[in-house]
Copies of this chain bind each other. A is one copy, B any other.
Amino acid sequence: MSEHKNDKEAYKNEPYRNQEFVVNFKDPFNAEPTPTRLIQSYITPTEHFYVRNHAPVPDIKESAYFLRIEGLIGKPMVLTMDDIKSKFEKVTIAATLQCAGNRRTMMSEYKKVKGVGWGIASLSNGTWSGCRLRDVLEYCKAFSKDSGAFHACFWGLDFGCPEEPDGKPYGSSITMEKAMDPEGDVLLAYEMNGETLTRDHGYPLRVVAPGIIGARSVKWLGRIIISPYESESFFQRRDYKIFHSGIDWNNITDKVWDSTPSLQELSIQSAICSPAPNSTVYLPFTIMGYATGGGGRKIERVDISLDGGESWDYAEIMTEEKGPVNRYWSWVFFRYTITHLNQLDHQKQVPLKLMCRAWDNASNTQPRDVKDIWNLRGVMNNCYHIVDIVVENKKSNL
């Protein structure tokens, strides 16, 4: 990808990675599990959890680590990891993180977009333990919205993002509504899946902001600035925004960038993880995949089509997270088993065009066609997922 400069020296101290990963970009490291691996467990094992880095992975000693909290704050502060672990209640949530670029490759196949290509697996589900961002901000006496504090800005310690001038680290921000919402569940996490964070996932401390795009869950958190303004980072101001399909790199203006809201809440998403595209299967077989509502919305149903969207039936939702309204942070898996196909009584092979689409508790569903949501950054591709397969008859007399 031309937007990333490759500097071998800067990437010489990367952590060991699972060899099963599909590597979409090497330096910085961007990788996703295979679709079949993705649905092998409801909580994604850490070594299979997708990785989206923007710079070399910093090598931080916990003993030398501190978090600065400044800006519109009554008591600006520097906290050590000891402070963070001892001064604030430890809480654990389960939450799916998803990159806004999930399924970008498919969008690019329709019409080329810029950005790291991703298949259908740049999302994963984990448990996260740490303290509530809200508790920390209250402890530091963060100003309220009435006093002009509208955004919680995060800077990482991963210096050297190629997109940033002067080797700045990755940065991003969320709204103070989300940061301070008692039901927003934004954490400063130091554990993932019950163990200390790994380097690839933000050791020793990261933001986990469930329900919104993964880009806001800043890893290797070094600084929080409470501000009237969004983060000044490239990744807040000139990336992770969605435009109509007529906006391209030739006609986009600063005015369009500036007036377009930064993505926060995720939209509804689903994809078929098995069978694989262009595979041949035998009866009976089961279609399996994931669905996730944005913003903590519940997945109410998943529909499956075998005929390219002409007719539909309900999939079975296998894992239904029990949560209060609007706090369904984790994905669900779905399955649909086919035991008989009339056409196979007379034919050796039947091609099927599998499709899935999910519906949330606000009757929002996915768009059918990628052309209706195509955008120049290739973000938020949540159109119906299509998988072409062939079902073959095992009977030899046909």
Contact = CB atoms under 8 A, between A and B. Distances in A.
A263 interface: yes
Given A175-B325, A368-B368, A368-B372, A363 B244 contact: no
Contact residues of A: prevailing secondary structure: loop
A268 interface: yes
Interface string A230-251: 0000000000001011100000
Contacts of A175: 325
A97 interface: no
A261 B267 CA distance: 20
Contacts of A177: 324-326
User: 8 closest pairs, A vs B, by CB?
Assistant: A265-B362, A267-B363, A177-B325, A244-B312, A364-B364, A294-B362, A363-B380, A295-B362
A202 B246 CA distance: 47
Contacts of A303: 244
Interface string A303-323: 100000101111000000000
A264 interface: yes
Q: Kindly state the interface size class of chain A when it binds its partner.
A: 35 or more
A228 to B, nearest CB: 16
Interface in A156-181: 175, 177-178
Contacts of A373: 365
B363 A266 contact: yes
A363 B300 contact: no
A261 B314 CA distance: 14
Contacts of A312: 244-246
A367 interface: yes
A370 B39 CA distance: 32
A244 B314 contact: yes
A345 interface: no
A363 B382 CA distance: 10
A2 to B, nearest CB: 26
Contacts of A314: 244
A268 B360 CA distance: 12
A263 B365 CA distance: 14
A243 to B, nearest CB: 9
Contacts of A6: none
Interface in A348-398: 359, 361-365, 367-369, 372-373, 380, 382
Interface string A201-240: 0000000000000000000000000000000000000000
A377 to B, nearest CB: 12
Contacts of A365: 367, 372-373
A104 B312 CA distance: 21
Interface string A133-145: 0000000000001
A99 to B, nearest CB: 14
Contact of A364 (B268, B368, B372): B268
Given A312-B245, A312-B246, A267 B372 contact: no
A230 to B, nearest CB: 14
A200 to B, nearest CB: 27
B246 A311 contact: yes
Nearest to A373: B365
Contacts of A362: 264-267, 294-295, 297, 364
Contacts of A326: 177
B324 A261 contact: no
Contact of A261 (B268, B295, B361, B367): B361
Nearest to A379: B363
A108 to B, nearest CB: 18
A294 B363 contact: yes
